[in-house]
Structure 1
Amino acid sequence: MNPPTEKPTLEQHPFRYTDREGSIVGTMTNDGSDIHIKMDGWEFVGKMFDDLEPVQTTGLPDRFRLHHDCLIDCNFDFTIPVLVNERNKLSNVDLLVHFELGKQNERGGIDREGFQITLEYDSLKYASSAKPSDMEDVLLEIQKQLPDGAFIQSCFNCLYSDYSPLGNGVFGCMMCFKNLKQEYLQVKSKEDFWPVHDHFERQVQETWLCDEFERRVPGTGYRG
């Protein structure tokens, strides 16, 4: 295991794609905003795992089913490296992720999607429930199970991150306000949030981490 670092690297990680025809093992590169998947000579890009589009569609095998140009009717299994902070002791650990994408439904959407995750830390496994959900909910499930004083040191637990009251996708829709730290820290309600709402630096993934991380204080911002 490498020494703990302050933020993730852009290394490729194994990525397993599964559909009705079987599984393909490819690679995933993730920079905290954009996701790049390569498998069987094909490349897909997106931001939230439910919006992965093929870079090239000409000759794309029929097994890759698309809806609004994005992959559906398949499952993904992969790992995301994260840091666990237990009383200022940092440990590199892997978040084991299973993501389900259903079929097109009658309303023009897909019939199911969501994450199940497992965190292996200190020789123990912490798992989310069997029901797939968005990344916010499954991370909250894991956090409740961790020992006192331990938390995942990532954007999800950062003092300067929040979600929009207008709604968000299943992954990668956190708003980073490190460019407006003092203004954001004055936010205590939805009404307080609107003046800064549109001025975030960028959208980030819950599992990402930068060197300006500060642990979130309960009651901060719109999400509390």
Structure 2
Amino acid sequence: MSTGQFWPGRYTDRHGSEAVVFETDGRESIRTTIRGVPFEGSSMDDLGALGGEPPDTPFAFFDGALCSCLLQWEVPLSVAVEGQGVRTEVLDCALRLGGPAGPGRGLDAETLTTTLRFNGREYRNAEGDDDFEDALNEIQRRLPDGVRLRACISCAWSDYFPAGHGLMAQLACFRDAKDRYRQVDGKHGPRGIFAVWAEHTESVQETWLCEEFEQRTTHTGYRGPFPYRAWR
């Protein structure tokens, strides 16, 4: 398995803007340092100050995580081109986090924008796609025929928990239970996702990639094909 990645990026809020680097293990750990303060979280919308105490440097927080800010970062993304092999492109990501909407109501806004630069063109997710599953599905639908994203989101061995998931990094990998996962055809019953869920290897980011990748094809597991149909 790969050891980690470094994503160049930028942090911006009403106090200013600065270049940052996000370090990730591709699973559920993202770290960065902003204005000299170290942050860590399992997702880009869950970055809290290490140690748990609010830093003296000015930031805005909601439920312990950064808010009222713009996070931007670049992710290397493998793309398979029919007849040409696999190449690494760049996925530009921007996450705008609003402020607290009120007690028990979360943030008043959370907007994700992802843009894949490929062959001199830009392929962007649709407005309203609020997580990486939807964003990458939309980008795949817009890519030319014969061009396929090569990442955990499009892998034959990945699936989501039926109760839902957050922005990113909650995609279950079943690479160590392939035979069992091949049988999954829905939610319940002996061949349902609940029956095999405890056997998943780990949770991964949608943009991650390992050497056991296989393109998602006829077997669709619980979550369905990639890309899923627009009306799902």
Q: Tell me the TM-score normalised to structure 1 length.
A: 0.91
Distance 1:20 1:208 in 2: 32
> What do you get for the CA RMSD once the two structures are aligned?
1.8
- Matched residue pairs, number? 218
Name the structure 1 match of 2:169.
172
Map 1:114-153; keep pairs closer than 5 Å.
114-131=111-128, 133-153=130-150
Map 1:1-224; keep pairs closer than 5 Å.
10-33=4-27, 34-56=29-51, 60-87=55-82, 89-108=85-104, 109-131=106-128, 133-191=130-188, 192-224=192-224
Residue 12 of structure 1 and its aligned partner are, at CA, apart by 2.7
Any idea what SS the aligned residue of 2:164 has? Answer: coil
Letter of the 2:173 partner, please give it.
C
Q: CA, structure 1 residues 132+183, in 2 after alignment: closer, same or farther (shift >3 Å)?
A: closer
Residue 188 of structure 1 and its aligned partner are, at CA, apart by 0.8
Letter of the 1:115 partner, please give it.
L
Letter of the 1:96 partner, please give it.
D
Distance 2:167 2:53 in 1: 29
Q: Deviations over 1:123-156 (max 9, x none)?
A: 1111123445211111111001111111110000
Name the structure 2 match of 1:3.
none
Structure 1, unaligned runs of 5 or more: 1-6
Q: Tell me the TM-score normalised to structure 2 length.
A: 0.88
Any idea what SS the aligned residue of 1:183 has? Answer: helix
Structure 2, unaligned runs of 5 or more: 225-232
Distance 1:160 1:186 in 2: 11
Structure 1 contact 26–40 (Cα < 8 Å) conserved: no
Residue 8 of structure 1 and its aligned partner are, at CA, apart by 6.3
Q: CA, structure 1 residues 92+73, in 2 after alignment: closer, same or farther (shift >3 Å)?
A: same
Q: CA, structure 1 residues 67+59, in 2 after alignment: closer, same or farther (shift >3 Å)?
A: closer
Structure 2 contact 52–64 (Cα < 8 Å) conserved: no
